[in-house]
Amino acid sequence: MSEILLEVKNLKKYFDTPKGKLHAVDDVNFSIEKGKTLGIVGESGCGKSTTGRVILRLLEATGGEVLYKGRNILSIDKNEMRELRKEMQIIFQDPFSSLDPRMSVSQIIEEPIKLNKLIVNKEDRYNRVLELMDLVGLSRRLINTYPHELDGGRRQRIGIARALALNTEFIVCDEPVSALDVSIQAQILNLMKSLQKQLGLTYIFITHDLSVVNHFSDDIAVMYLGKIVEKAPSEELFTHPVHPYTQALLSAIPRPSLDKRSEKIILKGEITSPINPKANCRFSNRCNYAEDICRETEPSLKEISPGHFVACHLFDGSK
Amino acid sequence: MNDYLLDIENLQVQYVTDDGTVSAVNGIDIKLQKGKTLGLVGETGAGKTTTAMSILRLVPHPPGKIIGGTIRLDDTDIFNISEKEMERMRGNIVSMIFQDPMTALNPVITVGDQIAEAIMIHQKLNQEKANKKAEEMLELVGIPGNRRNDYPHQFSGGMKQRVIIAIALSCSPKLLIADEPTTALDVTIQAQVLELMKELKTKYEMSMILITHDLGVVAEVCDDVAIMYAGRIVEKGSLQDIFLTTKHPYTEGLFNSIPNIDNRKAELKPIKGLMSDPYNLPTGCSFADRCDYVMPICREKSPQKIFFSENHYTECHLYATDIDFKLGRHQE
């Protein structure tokens, strides 16, 4: 039945800084079934983008395992990784800086096919580019234009076409619609959804926008300072958030409606430094429910109902 | 007697460039009462920021040029006063919060001095008194006063935005223009800053223009809403008018484009196509090419304002013949 495509175990990524070790990703665990979307949400600096990059080995992990189709890709060599990259791709946030301004649309989309010697015949390659443009809804007349001539929505479509150019099965989408206007954002989200259905793609969807992630993902993981604090199916997470941080995050979303004026939970202070963090709950200094145990020991991720995980001392049975 | 703090009539602004003329603002009217907050909503290139810059008379010239209309601010026609008089109004009567707190502050001057600068210029206080006032302003926006000798890089994004709010409010302006004040911030910090702005607005009985693309933020803070598209206000009304009895197809399209956080199964209905080229706006309604309800007349004649109540109007041909026309969104 459901086949696990990607499994992440105890993933860690630390950066060395003059002040000490910055724990960007600290012991993260999750798995994604084939054809599903995992949303990773959190605020700036929580490690969500780093997680995406470490999974694709765009950054080397400090520790842990990334099992793709059962194989730990953190330990394979360069050539094997190059093979795997044909299946694992990324879509970047900013369609203004992620495309080479000196390459035309056809060259940008063609490049990965050419480099990986997927289609050697020039004419076949040209046809494949046209096919990809049709797939992502780029009009064929744009084939010889350059990125600066196009608006953000079209540029993001180029980024998607390029990510799909190989035998892609898995895509890390790093804030793919954050730079776009709402009306264009909806066009791109709908496109990505229909491509997923059509091609059976598996996504990791990284974003800070909670309404987008709710709309788009099957499961959602909430990150705070390098840790997953709560993970659950989207419906469950939005109807029964239990971690105090998730609750505050959800209540902080400005809702475009006049009814449902729920009381906002306003958090005190701001995110603390991820450099040399103490071994306690990293949210404890902003948490309204924090007790001594929260400041002293680190909570682990526990399943409180099927599929619903939370890392909080309020729920670990010690209370 | 005029009880509007701000009264813009038929404002038109163009940018003349080598590639042609961009009609950024094409005849808009805005009236704002004391103590009220107006949300100016629209997408990139709708003319929101140009409108704001016109109120401060800060449209860069060249290439920008105000080609028509009047702006009365606190009973002064600001297009008919000298630059010196305008300088006196900026900060005292009207001030602005810019979108990006990371670039709006001077990196080599302490935040305290940056706040004190505005106070010294406008309120003619000496350094010592200005410093004291700067400290008070910092406390007001929730930053410990003893941090006034710190430099901007020592503050986080949310705190920098608080410093900017402190500068903008330091001379107690009557009108505050906030250009996407929370767009660059995380949601939990955004909630803090919005809360602070609401609080200060009531405290000082300030009027505010909030420029944003986020209808969620609008619902939180605004009394009135103006929806801008291609340099026109296509619909304007109270918060209730816009949210509950949406009239313009573009406003409807904006609502349908936002993922509904309380119903994740709901399908997104994006607005088709792209905003028309501002170098070359079509005759008739600028939204016609993207509109689901388009009629032949839309491509021929610009629509006139049609009023549903004293305060609620839209510019759309749909209601010219049938004032009771209903958009799809409300039939559900």
Domain map (residue ranges) of chain A: 4-87+169-310, 97-167
Nearest to A211 among B159, B190, B259 (CB): B259
Nearest to A255 among B219, B244, B264 (CB): B219
**For residues A239-250, average pLDDT:** 92
Residues of chain B with Cβ-Cβ distance to A185 below 8 Å are 257, 270
Question: Residue A215 and residue B270: Cβ atoms within 8 Å?
Answer: no
Q: How far is CA A183 from CA A114, A304, B271, in A?
A: 34, 38, 5
Paired residues of B178 in beta bridges: B97, B210
Residues of chain B with Cβ-Cβ distance to A216 below 8 Å are 259
Percent of the residues in chain B that have a pLDDT greater than 90, as a whole number = 47
Paired residues of B94 in beta bridges: B90, B175
User: Residue B316 and residue B29: Cα distance in Å, rounded?
Assistant: 16
- Chain length of chain B: 332
Highest CATH level, class, for A4-87+169-310: alpha beta
Residues of A with CB under 8 A from a CB of B: 43-44, 151, 153, 181-187, 189-190, 208, 210-212, 214-216, 234-235, 238, 248-249, 251-258, 260, 264, 266-267, 270-271
Starting at the edge strand found earlier in the chain, the sheet holding A4-17 runs A20-33, A4-17, A63-68, A71-72
Interface test with A, best of B143, B211, B268, B277 (most A CBs within 10 A): B268
Nearest to A267 among B44, B188, B270 (CB): B188
Query: What confidence category does residue A35 fall into, taking pLDDT thresholds of 50, 70 and 90?
Result: very high
Interface test with B, best of A181, A225, A235, A245 (most B CBs within 10 A): A181
- Whether the per-residue pLDDT at A5 is higher than 50: the answer is yes
* Nearest CA-CA partner of B231 in B313, B164, B287: B287
Query: What confidence category does residue A262 fall into, taking pLDDT thresholds of 50, 70 and 90?
Result: low
**For residues A306-314, average pLDDT:** 92
Residue B225: its H or E element: strand B224-229
Q: What pLDDT shows up at residue B32?
A: 93
Question: What count of CB pairs under 8 Å joins A to B?
Answer: 119
Q: What pLDDT shows up at residue B225?
A: 96
Q: What pLDDT shows up at residue B182?
A: 83
Provide the shortest C-alpha distance from residue A150 to chain B (in Å): 11
Residue of B nearest to A246 (CA): B188
Q: What pLDDT shows up at residue B186?
A: 81
Average pLDDT over chain A, rounded to an integer: 89
Q: What is the pTM of this model?
A: 0.83
**For residues A81-108, average pLDDT:** 90
Residue of A nearest to B182 (CA): A254
Higher pLDDT, B239 or B142: B239
Query: What confidence category does residue B193 fall into, taking pLDDT thresholds of 50, 70 and 90?
Result: confident
Query: What confidence category does residue B329 fall into, taking pLDDT thresholds of 50, 70 and 90?
Result: low
Residues of chain A with Cβ-Cβ distance to B269 below 8 Å are 186
Q: Any idea which of B14-23, B220-229, B232-241, B259-268 has the lowest mean pLDDT?
A: B259-268
Q: What pLDDT shows up at residue B316?
A: 94
- Whether the per-residue pLDDT at B330 is higher than 50: the answer is no
Q: What pLDDT shows up at residue B2?
A: 57
Paired residues of B65 in beta bridges: B14
**For residues A24-35, average pLDDT:** 93
Type of residue numbered B331: Q
Q: What pLDDT shows up at residue A276?
A: 84
**For residues A33-60, average pLDDT:** 92
Q: What pLDDT shows up at residue A260?
A: 62
- Whether the per-residue pLDDT at A318 is higher than 50: the answer is no
Q: What pLDDT shows up at residue B331?
A: 39
Q: What pLDDT shows up at residue A317?
A: 61
Residue found by looking up tokens 């974003």 in the block: A207
Provide the shortest C-alpha distance from residue B87 to chain A (in Å): 34
Higher pLDDT, B101 or B295: B295
Q: What pLDDT shows up at residue A131?
A: 93
Residues of chain B with Cβ-Cβ distance to A270 below 8 Å are 156, 158-159, 189
Q: What pLDDT shows up at residue B1?
A: 42
Q: How far is CA A75 from CA A4, A60, A71, A80, B92, in A?
A: 19, 10, 9, 10, 63
**For residues A54-70, average pLDDT:** 93
- The CA radius of gyration of chain B, in Å to the nearest whole number, is 21
Percent of the residues in chain A that have a pLDDT greater than 90, as a whole number = 59
A76: tokens are: 């394979």
Question: Residue A210 and residue B188: Cβ atoms within 8 Å?
Answer: no
Question: Residue A186 and residue B192: Cβ atoms within 8 Å?
Answer: no
Nearest to A190 among B217, B218, B270 (CB): B270
A221: tokens are: 């993981």
pLDDT, tens digit, 9 for 90 and up, residues A275-300? 888 888 999 888 888 888 888 899 98
pLDDT, tens digit, 9 for 90 and up, residues B21-56? 888 999 999 999 988 999 999 888 888 989 999 999
User: Residue A201 and residue A47: Cα distance in Å, rounded?
Assistant: 24
- Whether the per-residue pLDDT at B230 is higher than 70: the answer is yes
DSSP state of B184: T
| Strand A219-224 versus strand A227-233 pairing type | antiparallel
Nearest to A254 among B189, B217, B254 (CB): B217
